[in-house]
Amino acid sequence: MKKLVVAGNIGFCFGVKRTVQTAERLLKKHKRLYSIGDIVHNPLVMENLKSKGLRVVSSEAEVEKGPFIVRSHGIGPATIERLTEKGVEIFDATCPSVKKIQSLIKKLDRERYFIIIIGNENHPEVVALREYGRNTCVSRDGKDMPGGRKREKAAVIGQTTLSFTEYFKSASRFITSPVFAGKTIIYNTICRVTGERQEESAGISREAEAVFVLGGKTSSNTAKLCHNCRRFNKCVFHIENLGELEKVSLKGIRSAGLISGTSTPEDFIFAVKKYMKKKGYGEVQYNEQD
């Protein structure tokens, strides 16, 4: 019989779940809610919230008085201040793990550390994190490190969705640089959930003949899962909606893996499982297979 190996860690992570539930609750009460940018990187979730009254704008200038939700990636203190001055009612749904990193940067900034953030400079989490320190820079991989005068005290912070291996490889480049030859501390800020999913996705990719990674095309952690899976399996599909899955030929595939990013909703995962069942795939939980 054909089998569908389903990851144990699948669907929303606790941070996304909390943000989406907060948005749902606020929309039920106020019927209207503002956010700067998508609150989570998944079009299915966003369509649903927009249909209930969520208005996604690109800057605080477009936010009118009324409830405003801070997305899971967080926003910078300057933006919060400008919104407060406008009299906007702010509901903070930043993921608690991201919030911890913001506090860490504030503390390091008070202690006069130069802060290096490893990650994607255009990702909303990194854009917001930068605002919490006065002396910061963003590096994608440590190869693009800033030159200039020697930094006496530096701290390295990672975007939560990076892989542990990638992050520590990039961070260690700063330790050996003459610019950072003073005191340089590397903090482990990689989200535990992300790490667990990467580990599980590697195992599933080794075992299954094909892997379906469910999640939004703009979701950083889903893209990283795909990248990780491709290290072990040549047949990996990034699936954002059911229509995309229906186009995939399942001919000759006896075992398929099913994993998801942290902003992929339960009802979509359920629909995928139902579709695969119709195609003859019996569901097996990863780790519980014989």
Of 146-154, 189-197, 201-209, 224-232, the window that binds ligand SF4 (rule: CB under 6 A) is 189-197
The CB density around residue 277, as the number of other CB atoms within 10 Å, is 12
Binding pattern for the stretch 12-31 against ligand SF4, x by CB under 6 A and - elsewhere: -xxxx---------------
Of 95-103, 106-114, 140-148, 200-208, the window that binds ligand SF4 (rule: CB under 6 A) is 95-103
Among 191, 223, 245, 256, binds ligand SF4 (CB under 6 A): 191
Smallest gap from residue 56 Cβ to ligand SF4 (A): 18
- Residue among 4 and 191 whose Cβ is closer to ligand SF4: 191
User: Does residue 74 belong to the site contacting ligand SF4 (CB under 6 A)?
Assistant: no
Catalytic residues, which ones? 125
Alpha-carbon distance of 258 to 260, in angstroms, equals: 7
CB-side exposure of 139: number of CA atoms within 13 Å? 23
What is the DSSP secondary-structure string of 79-143? HHHHHHHTTPEEEE---HHHHHHHHHHHHHHHTT-EEEEES-TTSHHHHHHHTT-SSEEEESSST
Under rule CB under 6 A, which residues in 156-175 are in contact with ligand SF4?
Answer: 160
- Do the bridges between strand 33-36 and strand 54-57 make them parallel or antiparallel, or are there none, so unpaired? parallel
Q: Which helix (H) or strand (E) holds 212?
A: strand 210-214
Among 157, 193, 225, 259, binds ligand SF4 (CB under 6 A): 193
53 contacts: CB under 8 Å, gap ≥ 6: 27, 30, 31, 32, 33
- Residue among 13 and 210 whose Cβ is closer to ligand SF4: 13
Alpha-carbon distance of 154 to 9, in angstroms, equals: 35
Smallest gap from residue 104 Cβ to ligand SF4 (A): 13
Which residues in this chain contact ligand SF4 in the complex, by CB under 6 A?
Answer: 13-16, 72, 95, 97-98, 160, 191, 193-194, 221, 262
